[in-house]
Copies of this chain bind each other. A is one copy, B any other.
Amino acid sequence: MNSTEAVASSATSKSAQTRQRILDAAAEVLSRKGYAGTRLSDVAQVAGVQAPAIYYYFSSRDELVEEVMWVGANRVRLHLAEVLAALPEDTSCMDRLMVAVDAHLRFELQLSHYATASIRNAGHVPEQLRIRPAAEEALYSRLWRELFAEAQQAGEVRADLDINMFRLLLLGAMNWVVEWWNPRTRSLDELVATAQAMVRTGAGAV
């Protein structure tokens, strides 16, 4: 095995898998219990290791938390970018917004504890842990700003609407869902449809 192969295979080596298990466990616990309620012992238990083993992969609890937050913000952004890129060229601006709402909600509620952890704890972790995740969130915001700006320029969003504030309110509505969502009692399709209605007939030109 040469060094190139070593690097390539390292992604699935036992070591890398353990690191991944720990990171996944941290994301799950953080999304469920929040920053204040997350013990390293909880994370270790979910990951199936003893707490000190975490220090073989992360230099501190905060570094672990920071990485979860960054991965969460990063994945949400990449997911949305991917979904938007896959749309036909002639998709209308409003339809793009609808797809974005759909993608954001389904990703945060179904696909990623990282996203949930990132959203719930963004405002609750120490300042220094927010720097790298905040950069990702800024890029994510830019995607949404562009969607709204283009929709407004195309006349598909009312010209007199403050799209910056509307965007912040909409993302807030969708982010807050993690605080009350219960997959057993609510339909995700219904949620997506309602959120889309909030935008379409809320921001759409008559």
Contacts and interface: CB of A to CB of B under 8 A. Distances in A.
A83 B168 CA distance: 26
A36 B125 CA distance: 8
Contacts of A172: 172-177, 179-180
Most buried by B among A34, A126, A174: A34
Interface string A191-206: 1011101110111001
Interface in A95-128: 120, 122-126
A65 to B, nearest CB: 11
A161 B196 CA distance: 11
A139 B180 CA distance: 16
Contacts of A174: 169, 172
A201 B202 contact: yes
B169 A194 contact: yes
A171 B176 contact: yes
A146 interface: no
A46 interface: no
26 contacts: A34-B123, A34-B124, A35-B124, A36-B125, A37-B126, A162-B190, A162-B193, A162-B194, A165-B186, A168-B176, A169-B173, A169-B176, A169-B198, A171-B176, A172-B173, A172-B174, A172-B176, A172-B179, A175-B176, A197-B202, A197-B203, A198-B198, A199-B202, A201-B202, A201-B206, A202-B202
